[in-house]
Amino acid sequence: MSTLSKVKTYGQSIWLDNLSRTLIQDGELARLIKEDGISGITSNPSIFQKALTDSPYYQADMARLKTTVDDAEKRYEALVIPDIQAACDLLLPTYNQTLGNDGYVSLEVSPSLSHDTDATVATARRLHATVDRPNVLIKVPGTAAGVAAFERLTSEGISVNVTLLFSITQTLRVLEAYIRGLRKFVAAGGNGRNVKAVASLFLSRVDSHIDPKLAAIGSEQALALQGRAALAVAKLTYQRYKQLFHGEYFADLAKVGCRPQYLLWASTGTKNSAYSDVKYIDNLIGAETVNTAPNVTINAFRDHGTVANTVEIGADQAQNDYLALENLGIFPDEVGEILQVEGLKLFADAYQQILLTC
């Protein structure tokens, strides 16, 4: 059993934060699933921008589509949806073996819709129907409009990955919206067992934003907090997750077989070379979580990662670190709002580049 596969013994799934036709055609994705137990895939506009630029497998289709399809967005979807479908098919055995709890592939709605609830819902419905696989997750952003769309989609039984979350408050809004939507779906006669959702909490960007602020303060206390903000946010969010989904608030839904909305640790590639390259995996392994990581981080964890039940270790220290940051005038919830705006822009820019390429 590989190091990556052993993580499953603690109830965590490892997903690949990457997708391209090269990974599929060259058999690398199938190998990762078979040998390392990779049990899901996330994609986003930045990932597909790189894939369309670097992979030779799109060029013929791209040339053909430019002569037959007038709309760039439709050409983009025609290029990437077959990849999503192929990845879903590779992961279908995982989906079936876990009775629908794992084995998902994520496809994101256009970032241009991040502040339009109705358009997000309509696009998510269309993409869900077009992919036509039981193990697709439609990604919507954790903006106010995106959270409202998520609640509506959940009430319709559509499985969703809510992305671009950077704080405890943002994540809790999403988890609560899931429960409200799920309750509506079940009340209307839906089978809650058929609904899956994850909440993607981005980590390394939190430290990348806060660390320079701590360096500027320069005190011994401030410098000691560098590299600890993201883990504090994640560990405290996990505690709130447990309170929500393993208490009275979710009990009625749990009785009819509904699943909690798992926390998904995203942005887990370490950006600061002074930190361990497996920092955001080693320290956040635990039940009912997902960690989605790029290839380089997956390779690093396979080589020297430590498998242990770590997500709840240091919860008290996480609370102390969080309060210490606030005492220094650094408020993680405010940082989360800044990072969400920045993340949306990055994805929107990548999406526009895709449309120019297509």
Confidence at residue 3, expressed as pLDDT on a 0 to 100 scale: 93
Provide the token pair at 89: 């098919």
**End-to-end distance of the chain based on CA atoms, in angstroms?**
41
Q: Which two tokens stand for residue 120?
A: 């997000």
pLDDT digit string, tens, across residues 10-62: 999 999 999 999 999 999 999 999 999 999 999 998 999 999 999 999 999 99
Mean pLDDT is lowest, of 47-56, 118-127, 215-224, 314-323, for: 47-56
The pLDDT of residue 24 is: 97
pLDDT at 309: 97
Amino acid 259: pLDDT: 97
pLDDT score, position 277: 97
pLDDT of residue 185: 98
- What length is written for the chain? 358
pLDDT of residue 357: 87
What b/e readout covers 324-337, taking b as 16+ CB neighbours within 10 angstroms? bbeebebebeebbe
Rounded to two decimals, what is the model's pTM? 0.96
Averaged over 285-297, what is the pLDDT?
97
| pLDDT surpassing 90 at residue 358 | no
Q: pLDDT tens for residues 231-255?
A: 999 999 999 999 999 999 999 999 9
* pLDDT one-digit tens code per residue, 120-153: 999 999 999 999 999 999 999 999 999 999 999 9
**Reduced DSSP (H G I as helix, E B as strand, rest coil) percent helix, strand, coil of the chain, to 5:** 60, 10, 25
Which pLDDT score is estimated for 280? Answer: 98
Q: What is the pLDDT of residues 181-193, one digit of tens each?
A: 999 999 999 999 9
- Assess whether 139 carries a catalytic annotation: yes
Q: What is the CATH number of domain 3-204+233-309+337-357?
A: 3.20.20.70
> And the tokens for 91?
């992961």
Percent of the chain scoring above 70 in pLDDT:
100
Options 50, 139, 184, 242, the catalytic residue: 139
pLDDT at 22: 96
For the residues 59-70, what does the mean pLDDT come to? 93
How far, in whole angstroms, is CA 199 from its chain's centroid? 6
SS3 16: strand
Q: What is the model's pLDDT at position 119? A: 98
For residue 14, give every residue at least 6 positions away whose Cβ sits within 8 Å of its Cβ, in sequence order, or none. Answer: 4, 7, 8, 36, 37, 38, 39, 281, 290, 291, 292, 293, 298
* Contact (CB, 8 A) for 15 and 291: yes
- Looking at the predicted structure, is the pLDDT value of residue 1 above 80? no
